[in-house]
Amino acid sequence: MPRDPERNYLKAWRERRRMTQAQLAEAVGTNGAVISLLESGDRRLSDKWLRRLAPVLGTTPGHLLEHHPDDLSAEFLDVWSQIPEEQREQALDVLRTFRKKAAR
């Protein structure tokens, strides 16, 4: 009995970044057939895959699983993707201060 494919937003994120399956595959060291299987959910997006794919697509592993890129602010995503990985926690801390002020 075939299993249900695992839903994810990998294809939407790849298309948002205007990449082909072959380009994404090359960037993460695999081939287009594997990317196709990951996008369709026929191959599970493991933690290993999520950590390899997310930085190339300028997003987080969680977003690949839970958020279609059209549901998030394009401007925010573009700015976020340009923040170096080692400075993202600091950027989040700054954003959290706005959330705290709004709650007052």
Inform me whether the pLDDT recorded for 1 exceeds 50.
no
The arithmetic mean of pLDDT across residues 79-98, rounded, is 88
The mean pLDDT value for 91-96 works out to 90
Cα dist from 59 to 1, 44, 84, 102, 103, whole Å = 34, 18, 12, 25, 27
Higher-pLDDT residue of 41 and 102 is: 41
Higher pLDDT: 76 or 90? It is 90
pLDDT score for 58: 87
Structure confidence by residue, pLDDT tens digits, 24-73: 999 999 999 999 999 999 999 999 999 999 999 988 899 999 999 888 78
Question: Looking at residue 75, what is its pLDDT?
Answer: 79
What pLDDT was estimated at residue 103?
Answer: 61
The structure tokens listed for 53 are: 């794919």
HEC letters along the chain: CCCCCCCCCHHHHHHHCCCCHHHHHHHHCCCHHHHHHHHHCCCCCCHHHHHHHHHHHCCCHHHHHHCCHHHCCHHHHHHHHHCCHHHHHHHHHHHHHHHHHHHC
- Is the entire prediction scored with pTM above 0.95? no
- Residue 96 pLDDT more than 50? yes
